[in-house]
């Protein structure tokens, strides 16, 4: 097996050899493996044959063999063409491998996103997810806490990294966060447990930032905790915007990490907005950041509006800001609106 | 991002970061720090005064360097499946990885260090002299 094998099926190799042969007045010219077995072109009698090695990374992977009528320069030229083709094919294969891995990761990730929201009286949810071509490992989730139909969990998370490793970790983190939220008292304890599992049982070089909130659908009381994540925002029905800060490090990096538990109340007409840094770190063509201030301003202008309208306003504004610049990171936004009382 | 190395002594290297640290260059930073460690440096002073932006990949780089300077081998964060299976030692919260010291982060970088928890393991100094001497 030689690296040349991949080129044999390529019609341009046959053309190259035919052209070289014609240039040498119809002399025989062929390509062999390093042991001299003919791979392409015409066999050349070994007596008086001219040989020119074909190298890849300094290793001889084959030979160009011509009979006496083939000028040595011509054999070298054919050899060089083969070396160029081999090097190019390898770059191509590596690119294809990377892009295939990214695509698989992307498919896993998209399969993890919820296809519908739980039906909870008095609440509406909306989300936007815009994948980037390069980096990306965002996740969001909305579910009712097991055995407590009145409690809704809101999750948004961002795995550093990309491709299959990020997607696999994402799947893991999604399941861990769901199980922890179902089984422990509050979001801070849930993050503490997920971190402990990641640190002790899933050691990787990747980290996760997350924000986890549990909402009491009847009272509007929200308990939340953050792991190195951007503070969620609350668009108040009266026009104010609150940033929900809470201390806590990224998941998966620090043994024994703890997370601060904070609370707020969503009144009818209030909406909670969770997002990933793909929004605030979106760039315009001059590489300026969208930034939290601009996000706060657009949310302020959307106070009292339905969840769908808030999500739309943010995404429209980010798109207008970015203009033709490609998104480098995933953009994810999750809005939970407590509907105004009639 | 530009990096400038100042080898103040066989044991101490100062690495000044200038520009933006993100997914496009964080592995280079890990490689540069690892080379300095292999070359005998046992304390790495990262001068962040000229660093205007750090993405979450930058956090991965700083955490990996903290491991390198504790004599551990962090897995390549982009080594495909290997990144999932490789074993990386963690740093206990509240345990300062004193071998890597940060100098003069701008307010924007400081916010990221605070939010992600990196400040819990990496000490921050106001200027180079203090980080080298301390």
In the predicted structure, residue A10 carries a pLDDT above the cut 80: no
Distance CA A51, CA B110 (A): 64
Q: Measured between alpha carbons, how far is B43 from B20 in angstroms, rounded to an integer?
A: 23
Edge-first strand order for the sheet with A208-216 is A138-145, A148-159, A208-216, A221-227, A262-265
Residue range A305-319, pLDDT digits in tens: 999 999 999 999 999
Instruction: Give the pLDDT score at B90.
Output: 46
> Which of A249, A258, A287, A329 is the best substitution to test chain B (most B C-beta atoms within 10 A)?
A249
Across the interface, do A205 and B88 touch by the CB < 8 Å criterion?
Answer: yes
Q: Is the pLDDT of residue A340 over 50?
A: yes
Residue B76 — pLDDT band, cuts 50, 70, 90?
Answer: low
What is the model's pLDDT at position A124?
97
Digit-coded pLDDT (tens) for A240-271 = 999 999 999 999 888 889 999 999 999 999 99
Pick from A46-55, A72-81, A94-103, A281-290 the range whose average pLDDT is largest. Answer: A281-290
pLDDT in tens, A64-120: 888 887 788 888 888 888 888 888 888 888 888 878 877 887 788 788 889 899 999
A203/B57 CB distance under 8 A: no
Q: Do A165 and B80 touch (CB under 8 A)?
A: yes
- Residue A289: list chain B partners with CB under 8 A: 53
The minimal CB distance from A165 to the residues B83, B89, B91 is found for B83
Q: What is the DSSP string of A256-287?
A: T-----EEEEPPTT-EEEEE-HHHHT-B-TT-
Beta partners for residue A221, in sequence order: A265
Q: Is B35 on the interface with A (CB under 8 A)?
A: no
Closest CA to A118 of A146, A158, A82, A89: A146
C-alpha to C-alpha distance for B96 and A188, rounded to whole angstroms: 23
CB within 8 Å: B84 and A135: no
Q: What is the pLDDT of residue A70?
A: 78
Cβ separation of B55 and A255 shorter than 8 Å? no
Give the distance from residue B54's alpha carbon to the nearest chain A alpha carbon, in angstroms.
10
Contact at CB, B60 and A209, closer than 8 angstroms: no
| Predicted TM-score (pTM) of this structure | 0.78
Residue of B nearest to A207 (CA): B60
Q: Residue B83: pLDDT band by 50, 70, 90 thresholds?
A: very low
- How far apart (Å, rounded) are the C-alpha atoms in residues A206 and B46? 22
């Amino acid at each position: 097996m030689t690296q040349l094998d991949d080129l044999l099926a390529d019609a341009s190799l046959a053309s190259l050899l035919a052209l070289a042969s014609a240039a040498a007045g119809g002399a025989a010219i062929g390509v062999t493996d390093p042991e001299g077995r003919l791979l392409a072109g015409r066999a050349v009698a070994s007596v008086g044959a001219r040989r020119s090695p074909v190298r890849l990374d300094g290793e001889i992977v084959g030979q160009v063999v011509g009979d006496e009528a083939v000028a040595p320069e011509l054999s070298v030229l054919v050899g060089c063409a083969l070396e160029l083709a081999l090097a190019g094919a390898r770059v191509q294969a590596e690119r294809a491998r990377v892009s295939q891995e990214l695509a698989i990761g992307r498919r896993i990730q998209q399969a993890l996103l919820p296809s519908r929201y739980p039906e909870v009286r008095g609440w509406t949810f909306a989300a936007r997810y815009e994948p980037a071509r390069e980096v990306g490992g965002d996740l969001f989730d909305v579910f009712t806490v097991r055995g407590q139909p009145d409690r809704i969990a809101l999750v948004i998370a961002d795995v550093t990294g990309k491709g299959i490793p990020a997607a696999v970790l994402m799947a893991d983190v999604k399941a861990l966060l769901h199980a922890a939220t179902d089984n422990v008292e509050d979001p801070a304890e849930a993050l503490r447990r997920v971190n402990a599992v990641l640190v002790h049982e899933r050691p990787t070089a990747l980290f996760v930032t997350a924000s986890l909130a549990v909402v009491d659908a009847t009272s509007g009381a929200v308990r939340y905790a953050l792991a190195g994540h951007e503070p969620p925002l609350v668009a108040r029905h009266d026009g104010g915007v609150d940033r929900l800060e809470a201390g806590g490090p990224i998941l998966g990096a620090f043994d024994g990490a703890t997370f601060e538990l904070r609370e707020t109340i969503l009144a009818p007409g209030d909406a909670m907005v969770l997002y990933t840094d793909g929004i605030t770190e979106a760039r315009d063509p001059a590489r300026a950041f969208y930034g939290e201030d601009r996000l706060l301003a657009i949310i302020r202008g959307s106070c009292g509006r339905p969840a769908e309208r808030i999500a739309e306003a943010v995404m429209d504004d980010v798109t207008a800001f970015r203009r033709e610049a490609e998104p480098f990171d995933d953009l994810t936004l999750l809005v939970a609106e407590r509907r105004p009382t009639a | 991002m530009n990096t400038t190395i100042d080898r103040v002594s066989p044991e101490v290297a100062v690495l000044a970061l200038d520009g933006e640290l993100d997914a496009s260059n964080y592995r280079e930073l890990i490689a540069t720090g690892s080379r300095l460690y292999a070359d005998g440096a046992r304390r790495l002073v990262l001068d962040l005064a000229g660093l205007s932006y750090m993405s979450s990949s930058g956090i991965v780089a700083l955490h990996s360097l903290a491991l390198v300077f504790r004599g551990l081998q962090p897995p390549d964060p982009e080594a495909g499946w290997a990144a999932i299976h490789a074993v990386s030692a963690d740093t206990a919260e509240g345990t300062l990885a004193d071998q890597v010291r940060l100098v003069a982060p701008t307010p924007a970088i400081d916010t990221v260090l605070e939010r992600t928890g990196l400040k819990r393991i990496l000490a921050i100094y106001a200027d180079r002299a203090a980080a080298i001497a301390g």
